[in-house]
Amino acid sequence: MSDINFNLEEFNLQLDTHFIGTNIYFLDHVESTNSYLMSRNEDFENGTVVIAETQTKGRGRLDRTWLSDPKVNLTFSIALTKKDLFTSPAMINFAASLAVANALQNLFQLPVELKWPNDVLVKGKKISGILMESISAGSEITRMVVGFGINVNQSNFPGKYLILPTSVKNEYRGPISRERILSEVLNLFEQYLGFLKFDKKMLLQSWKEKCRMIGEKVKIESGDTQRFGVFVDVDVDGFLLFREGAQTSKITFGDVSLRGQ
């Protein structure tokens, strides 16, 4: 296993991208890497990455908290500022979760699954989550921030979780390098963003192949509301197509779980 200190040089040697990660901020601690990139009035270069060893106010989807022990996991965000990437925000989300899933599969042969909209699971436990946010001027998006939390070397997760967490360390017996995981995720993310321009369908298809809930009976929870039906499909806009009785509707947010769980 690598030294506990993140080795930027080792990471850089394995980074094989054209724009993601050419500009990197490595912070010892910050409230949240997403908040950092969302709140600053700077012209961040497209693909700027902010990595933090400690987040004091890590945030998750739906106003939840993201908890991560200092220095053992990966918590980072990427700023996207090139407009041609903004035509399909949902696909950016899918590209991000697919990049994490495939990185963990390639490096550690983990049996990864994707859970709508963008969780990465291993044997039903959550190993990674993505938080995507955007800044707009009028109706135009000017910056997207994609935040990644990946549990790498943390073995215990005290506290209450909606889905039980796990980590690479808990699922893989062998050497684990945070540097290698980060470079692989960034390499794949950039590659998948490239598909957005000419092969959106293939990206969506690859995402769907790893989402085992499609076709299953599920429960969708949002706030105090629970709905029961069938997870029919995911469309190109990232909506979950949900059938209740004879009616199919589009779901934009919420927590989906297999019925009975």
CB of 126 to ligand BTN, least distance (A): 7
| Location of structure tokens 């409230």 | 31
Structure tokens that stand for 194 in this block? 């490239």
Q: Is 101 in the site for ligand BTN (CB under 6 A)?
A: no
Strands 48-55, 24-30: pairing is: parallel
Q: Is 147 in the site for ligand BTN (CB under 6 A)?
A: yes
Q: Is 154 in the site for ligand BTN (CB under 6 A)?
A: no
Separation of CA 16 from chain center: 20
Q: Is 211 in the site for ligand BTN (CB under 6 A)?
A: no
Other Cβ atoms less than 10 A from the Cβ of 186: the count is 25
Stretch that binds ligand BTN, among 127-135, 198-206, 214-222, 231-239 (CB under 6 A): 127-135
Preceding omega of 117 cis (within 30 degrees of 0): yes
Q: For ligand BTN, which residue of 55, 93, 167, 183 counts as binding (CB under 6 A)?
A: 55
CB of 130 to ligand BTN, least distance (A): 6
Q: Is 167 in the site for ligand BTN (CB under 6 A)?
A: no
Query: What string marks each residue from 180 to 209 as x (binds ligand BTN by CB under 6 A) or -?
Result: ------------------------------
Q: Is 58 in the site for ligand BTN (CB under 6 A)?
A: yes
Counting beta carbons within 10 angstroms of the beta carbon of residue 135, is it exposed (0 to 12), middle (13 to 18) or buried (19 or more)?
Answer: middle
Report which of 168, 203, 193 is spatially closest to residue 73, judged by C-alpha positions.
Answer: 168
CB of 211 to ligand BTN, least distance (A): 15
Looking at residues 231 to 260 of the shown chain, list those that interact with ligand BTN (rule: CB under 6 A).
Answer: none
CB of 37 to ligand BTN, least distance (A): 9
Q: For ligand BTN, which residue of 27, 46, 61, 212 counts as binding (CB under 6 A)?
A: 61
Q: Is 33 in the site for ligand BTN (CB under 6 A)?
A: yes
Structure tokens that stand for 66 in this block? 């993201």
Stretch that binds ligand BTN, among 20-28, 41-49, 60-68, 83-91 (CB under 6 A): 60-68
Residues in contact with ligand BTN by CB under 6 A are 32-34, 55, 58-61, 64, 66, 75-77, 119, 129-131, 147-149
